[in-house]
Chain A
C-alpha cells in the first residue's frame, strides 16, 4: 500500500517527529511504499543538518537522512514554512540573499502542492502533529 506522511512538529520538542519516523520505518519494513514524507509547520526543523544533539540521544535529522538514503525516500520540506523558520537550501539562499544554508541534502524544499499531490496519489495520508 502507498502511504504519505505529514509531520507538523519539529524534532525534540514534540514526540510527533519520533512517532512519524517509527511509523514510516515500520511501514517500509512491512513492504509498504512511502510515496512522500512532507514536513510542514515547525516540522521543517527536522531537516536541518546543523543540529547537534547530545551523544547519548537519538539524532532525529540523521535518522531521517539515513532512512531516506536506504529507501530513496522523498523527504519534502514546505517552502513557505521553511522560509519563515530559516530552513535554507542553495536555491533558497540564492533567491533570498542568505549567507548560509542548513538543509541536509537528503531533504528537498518544495511547495505545498507536494502535500496535496501526495494525498491524491497515496492510499493513506497519516498526519503526526502536536
Chain B
C-alpha cells in the first residue's frame, strides 16, 4: 500500500520532517504544506535528505509557498508543486494519509 505523508512543520523548528522521511517507504509520497514548505527549498539542510529518499515523491503546496514569499524557482529539484485540488488528488490516489503533526 502506498501512503501519502503530510508534514506541516518547519524542519528547522521540529523533527516532523525527519521522522516522516524515516517512515516514508519507496512508492509513497510526502506533501509539504503550511510551515512544512520550508523543507522544499533548495540550499537548506533538507535538500540532501529529499534527494536521498529513494522512490519517495515530494510535493509542496503552492498556496503555502506563495503566502510565505517562497519562489517556485528555488524548490529542490524533483519537488512538484500542487494546489489544494492537487492535495485532494494525492490523498485519493494513495491508500491512506499519515499526518506528521
- State if A and B touch, Cβ cutoff 8 Å: yes
Partner of B92, one of A15, A25, A32, A127: A32
- A124 and B97 within 8 A (CB): yes
Residue total for B at the interface (Cβ-Cβ under 8 A): 18
Chain A residue numbers with a CB within 8 Å of B34 are 15-16, 19
**Assuming A15-B34, A19-B34, is B91 touching A124 (CB within 8 A)?**
yes
- B8 and A32 within 8 A (CB): no
Chain B residue numbers with a CB within 8 Å of A29 are 85
Q: Which chain B residue lies CB-closest to A28?
A: B88
Give the complex CA separation of A127 and B86 in angstroms. 17
Any B CB within 8 A of the CB of A125: yes
CB proximity of A61 to chain B, nearest CB, Å: 20
Chain B residue numbers with a CB within 8 Å of A130 are 101
Q: Which chain B residue lies CB-closest to A130?
A: B101
Any A CB within 8 A of the CB of B87: yes
CB proximity of A73 to chain B, nearest CB, Å: 15
Any A CB within 8 A of the CB of B96: yes
Partner of B101, one of A25, A27, A32, A127: A127
Chain B residue numbers with a CB within 8 Å of A8 are 101
Give the complex CA separation of A8 and B100 in angstroms. 13
CB proximity of A30 to chain B, nearest CB, Å: 6
- B91 and A3 within 8 A (CB): yes
Report B63-95 residues with CB < 8 Å from chain A CB.
63, 83-85, 87-89, 91-92
Any A CB within 8 A of the CB of B15: no
CB proximity of A28 to chain B, nearest CB, Å: 9
**Assuming A15-B8, A19-B8, is B88 touching A129 (CB within 8 A)?**
no
Instruction: List 10 tightest A-B contacts by C-beta distance, closest first.
Output: A129-B101, A26-B84, A127-B99, A27-B88, A15-B34, A26-B85, A22-B84, A26-B88, A126-B97, A1-B92
List B residues at the A interface (Cβ < 8 Å).
6, 8, 33-35, 63, 83-85, 87-89, 91-92, 96-97, 99, 101
List A residues at the B interface (Cβ < 8 Å).
1, 3, 8, 15-16, 19, 22-23, 25-27, 29-30, 32, 123-130
